[in-house]
Structure 1
Amino acid sequence: MSLHPPAQRTVEVAGDAPYAISIGPGLLDAARADNVQRLAQVLRGRHALLVSDSHVAPLHAQRAIALLHAARPQLALSTWVMPAGEQEKTLARFGECLDALAALGATRDATVVALGGGVVGDLAGFAAACWMRGIDCVQLPTTLLAMVDSSVGGKTAVDLPQGKNLVGAFHPPRAVIADTSVLRTLPERELRAGLAEVVKYGAVFDAQFLAWLDAHADALLARDDHALTEAIARSCEFKADVVARDPYERGHRALLNFGHTFGHAIEAEQGYAGSGSDALNHGEAVAVGMVLAARLSTLLGLAPAEAGDRLQALLQRLGLPTGLPPGLDPGALVARMRLDKKADAHGLRFVLWDRAGSARVVAGVAEDAVRAVLEARA
């Protein structure tokens, strides 16, 4: 894989509602005619609500507003800023977003523009899915994790105290515009958390991509635009292929949840406290979850232990946690997993692997085996 991609990459997502993912530095610059034209093509109405959070808005909202006005000078534009943090992805905040759309007078051809990480993208996308039974949404992700995962594929949701993303809808965006230059303002911890989701694609689909990530780990951590653009584009290509074949997560798309059954349980048990605390954020929880899923695969006789060891070493090289945080009760985590969307009448379902680059869904996993992996604190 080349470390010298074009300055900008485009990934097309096929399906009933196709759209493009644009990736590269400077894509929010209103002085660039190509940026203005790109956004003008997807803004269909006269109203837009820019949704952001208290961390991102001070850094990037003015750039987004300038680009929106350049793309559609007569646009009636309003901004709604929510408090930052996974703990804010609630039905109450969702209701406030709907109130902002009502105050704007948003009509059926309005657009919700999500400027932020996964929390903003999920909540704004869900509001777009529900307002007048569905209006357009444009995703402007500002975290690496959102660029490679949550902004792509149309899964939108909010959390409940009982679990993550339990209330939501499938609502594909009109476009995703991933400006890699905004990642320069991303906290180091959040950059590393995004790399966990990048590693996931290699773990599930392509062992050679895992090798590339290992070879270019230093460039990625240094926020090299070429390395980031390549990693994001490759990740989005994997996800776009899966989403086109399985838009409603009824089969193949479930593979994207490698590490997430464990990870979501950890997040929920820690109260979604995330980056502002000692609790794990989403990417960190997924990193731990992938290692646990690899260990569970070995315990069940599906994969060699060496594959899990190599995965763990790569995640550690990227500065990610790989062991279960202290103080979490395995029984409580298993109880969380029973409520996971991937569980069914036959019991717990996990995405496990046979080796790097080859994963599958395994149903009816015995709780005793899951407890054994958790109690070993990999």
Structure 2
Amino acid sequence: MAERALAHIEKVEWVNPIEGADNIELIGILGWVCVAKKEEFRPGDIAVYIEIDSKCPENDERFAFLAAKHYKVKTMKLGKFKVISQGLALPITLFPEFADKKIGDDVTNELKITYSSQEDIKRKSNGVDPEAKYKAMANRKPNLFKKPLVRKIMRYKFGRKLMFLLFGRKKDNPKKFPDWIVKTDETRIENAPFYLNSTDKWVKTEKCDGTSCTYAVDRLKKGKNKFDFIVCSRNVRQADRNQETYHDSNIYWELADKYGIEKILTDFATENNYSRVVLQGEGVGSVQGNPYKLKENVLYVFNLIIDGVRAGTVEMSNFCKAHNLTSVPIIDTECVLPKTMEEMSLRLMDIVS
């Protein structure tokens, strides 16, 4: 199931005509701008809103009109009218089962909405491989577990349990993602349009397209400079370099080794007497189809968290420079947000043009 709310109940905030369009108009939901049939909505109407990057179920006739798009909801650019549509809004009257729902309620699971990309489904899953402890055990004793008899035993659930009883260790059990580390789920401005009321200046950075990587050190005992080094994907702690991932190799440990992240964080925590230091970034390269055409994997850091306090973007960037790491590209350190989502939508049009 999706962790992110891909479908939810929302109110239509506004309805605006599209110059030159006879059958469609723009509507606003939260901070999202969508195209809808003319007169399908009025301000204040309730809708089921389905976010971009979603896939609707093929066996639900209410989504049959999406068949040509393989039931996927993506950002649409209507160049003729110079507008974009970000998501899909459908009248709540099409969903009588949601009569008792309130604004903001998540209906992703009820509608069986999933991520449109199979890689996203795997990458953003919270699931831990149920076979992980057996694989860890086998990796410790490769010669034993390559023997034909043992391989035959390991085909069966009872056999795996028996072998773990004989050869398994406590450390073979997968560790959970630490509850004191905030996962890398950034809030989209469309879901928090109230930020547009801010008069503050913001730091604008590039969103790199890869896989989320989290690294941390956790002091084991107060006053002692011994730390537990933690390597995680978006949702799963990576026990060691042999842990299988949905990528060709374990990019998380590969990047940790490439940049010497354990030493960097351990030395930093030791020198400054910190208890916990977290470094988060995007692993880019041989993932997501390698859109940047890189020859090797690269880590672009976007978060530095020291004892629970997130460092500012410029401070994080300076930390990276001091330790031979690369931060995500900083585009503007004095960015002023537009006043409306329509203006934000026009900025997005300039980017995707």
TM over 0.5: no
Q: TM-score, normalised by structure 2?
A: 0.28
Query: Which structure's CA Rg is the greater one?
Result: 2
Q: TM-score, normalised by structure 1?
A: 0.27
Which structure is higher in strand share?
A: 2
Which structure is higher in helix share?
A: 1
